[in-house]
Structure 1
Amino acid sequence: MLKDFSFQITLTTNSVAFVDFAKNDVDVAIEGGPNPSPATESFEFGAMEVLPVCHPALVNGHPPPVHPQDVAQYNLLCPTGHPDLENFWVKWGRSVGLDACFGKTCTYFDSLDAVSDAAMQGLGIGIAARKFVEDDLAAGRLIAPLPCSLEIAMPYYIVTPKEATNPQVNAFVNWLRGEISRP
């Protein structure tokens, strides 16, 4: 006989580079980098589309970026990511044929969420994963000023301690995997 289980899950978010499950009271982490933490089970997000985004008022009254090189005239917002990862703006610039244009210093944030938040505050043009900002684009909190995007391997992982047995953790990870896999 199958039982209907429903779980109450409390989410607490924290920005740290990597979680040590042995030292921290954490059940699930989302980590960025070329390799997940050792001694974990992981599921890679896979490739994601990244694109420039900004607050609509950032360009109102100013000439909006018309060509990719115009983006370099604005304050660029970028996630720091893992030290082995190349700056997302540099990758995006190369994808649109602008090798030298994006060598300038960006304002760095510790996560893609922080970049999106800063862009919504009007602090500059951020490079964001479309999947993470779809709702903000649809609601008009952010705009994509240029049609240029880049499919990029996003080395982000859902990680849990090896052989996690907590049914709430497993249910949450399965739900999260389903959400990530959704088109």
Structure 2
Amino acid sequence: MVQRPGRSLPPMTSLPVFEAVGRHMSIAKAADELCLTAGAVSRQIQNLETFLGCDLFERAHRRIAFTPAGEVYWGKIHASLDAIRGVTSDLAVGIERRPLVIGSPRVFLQKCIMPALGTLYARSPDIVVKFVSGVQDIDGVDAAIHVGEAISRKGFVCEILGDADLTPVCSPSYLRRAPKLDTPDDLENHTLLRSAEFTRNWERWLGPRASRIFAHTRFIDMESSGLEPTAAVEGLGIAIVRRRLVEQELADHRLVALFESEMVHEHYFFLFAEPKLRSGTFRLFRNWLRDAVME
């Protein structure tokens, strides 16, 4: 005796198979669409018929046709699956149209991303990206550009974007009129430019000498990071910078790199959660970013 299903759900894997067979009126065509074998499709239909306790199709030589019950049932299932496809598509489109929120250090954003941003919109005119600076954590953004050392965090990807070597720089005019500057120890007799972020960079570059030099040198403090290179070009003092951010100023001889043999080697990284790769918009941005700024 076949047990009637009552209000129980049918075997859910069978429903898309039944809907495809009914749409094509062909087991072979449904199998091609679903990337299944014809035998697997037939077994799914048989499982559904066994559950329902009735035939859904009449089988004849090389053809099938709905039974009256099968035709009614197919109409309901087709409408339900079509509604599911619709709301799924609407949700996916909504997610794809949501602005990408990308965290980035302010100076990297200004020097590396903004000059190349036009190529992103040329590649994808409809993309919407919001950049935020001062991000301390990956939470709350879709991805973050991070400088320093690689971050190892379960479920996240951390990709190298390029070099972020630290080196002191100053203008040629400052160098001509300043006290001798033969070794890093001589920096205690000079004016150093800093902000909160760039103080940490000075500490990383100076290492154990930092406390002694900081005790004697003169500082010009800046409220916002990123002003130090401009102040250095104007001859106000010595800035500690990521070399790739001032390549143009170095090439134009507006700045001179000091003590290049003692550069601190670090990198820029692109950090994001692995599931972000499911988004076509995110993949497009990631590929553009690597093309635009990766060395």
Q: Name the TM-score, length of structure 1 as normaliser.
A: 0.63
C-alpha contact (below 8 Å) 1:78/1:87 kept by paired residues: no
Q: Distance in 1 between matches of 2:248 and 2:128?
A: 23
Q: What is the 5 A alignment of 1:9-24?
A: 14-18=132-136, 22=140
Q: Distance in 1 between matches of 2:194 and 2:152?
A: 21
Q: Distance in 2 between matches of 1:37 and 1:76?
A: 36
Larger fraction in helix: 2
Residue in structure 2 matched with residue 30 of structure 1 by the alignment: 145
Q: 1:44 to 1:147 in 2, by over 3 A?
A: closer
Using the TM superposition, give the Cα deviation of residue 55 of structure 1 relative to its aligned residue in structure 2, in angstroms. 2.4
Report which structure shows greater RCO (CA 8 Å, sep ≥6): 1
Residue in structure 2 matched with residue 103 of structure 1 by the alignment: 214
SS at match of 2:186: helix
Using the TM superposition, give the Cα deviation of residue 42 of structure 1 relative to its aligned residue in structure 2, in angstroms. 3.9
Q: Distance in 1 between matches of 2:222 and 2:135?
A: 14
Using the TM superposition, give the Cα deviation of residue 121 of structure 1 relative to its aligned residue in structure 2, in angstroms. 3.5
Using the TM superposition, give the Cα deviation of residue 178 of structure 1 relative to its aligned residue in structure 2, in angstroms. 4.2
Q: 1:17 to 1:89 in 2, by over 3 A?
A: same
Q: 1:63 to 1:108 in 2, by over 3 A?
A: same
Identity of aligned residues (%): 25
Q: 1:70 to 1:91 in 2, by over 3 A?
A: same
Q: What is the 5 A alignment of 1:61-140?
A: 61-63=177-179, 65-78=181-194, 80-81=196-197, 87-94=200-207, 98=209, 100-104=211-215, 107=221, 111=225, 113-140=226-253
Deviations 1:24-46 (A, max 9, x none): xx665424476599986543447
Q: Distance in 1 between matches of 2:210 and 2:240?
A: 16
Q: Which runs of no fewer than 5 residues in structure 1 stay unpaired? A: none
RMSD, aligned CA: 4.0
Using the TM superposition, give the Cα deviation of residue 177 of structure 1 relative to its aligned residue in structure 2, in angstroms. 2.6
Give the residue type in structure 1 aligned to 2:214. G
Using the TM superposition, give the Cα deviation of residue 11 of structure 1 relative to its aligned residue in structure 2, in angstroms. 6.8
Using the TM superposition, give the Cα deviation of residue 17 of structure 1 relative to its aligned residue in structure 2, in angstroms. 3.1
C-alpha contact (below 8 Å) 1:51/1:148 kept by paired residues: no
Give the residue type in structure 2 aligned to 1:116. P
Q: Distance in 2 between matches of 1:11 and 1:61?
A: 45
Using the TM superposition, give the Cα deviation of residue 176 of structure 1 relative to its aligned residue in structure 2, in angstroms. 2.7
C-alpha contact (below 8 Å) 2:192/2:238 kept by paired residues: yes
Q: Distance in 2 between matches of 1:18 and 1:38?
A: 18
Residue in structure 2 matched with residue 55 of structure 1 by the alignment: 171
Deviations 1:81-105 (A, max 9, x none): 49xxx832233223xx846533348
Give the residue type in structure 1 aligned to 2:134. V
C-alpha contact (below 8 Å) 2:147/2:164 kept by paired residues: no
Q: Distance in 2 between matches of 1:49 and 1:122?
A: 22
C-alpha contact (below 8 Å) 1:90/1:103 kept by paired residues: no
Match of 2:284 among 171, 175, 180: 171
Residue in structure 2 matched with residue 7 of structure 1 by the alignment: 124
Q: 1:21 to 1:130 in 2, by over 3 A?
A: same
Q: Distance in 1 between matches of 2:286 and 2:269?
A: 11
Match of 1:144 among 246, 257, 261: 257
Q: How many residues of Structure 1 are paired with residues of Structure 2 in the alignment?
A: 167
Higher gyration radius (CA) = 2
Q: Name the TM-score, length of structure 2 as normaliser.
A: 0.43
Give the residue type in structure 2 aligned to 1:131. R
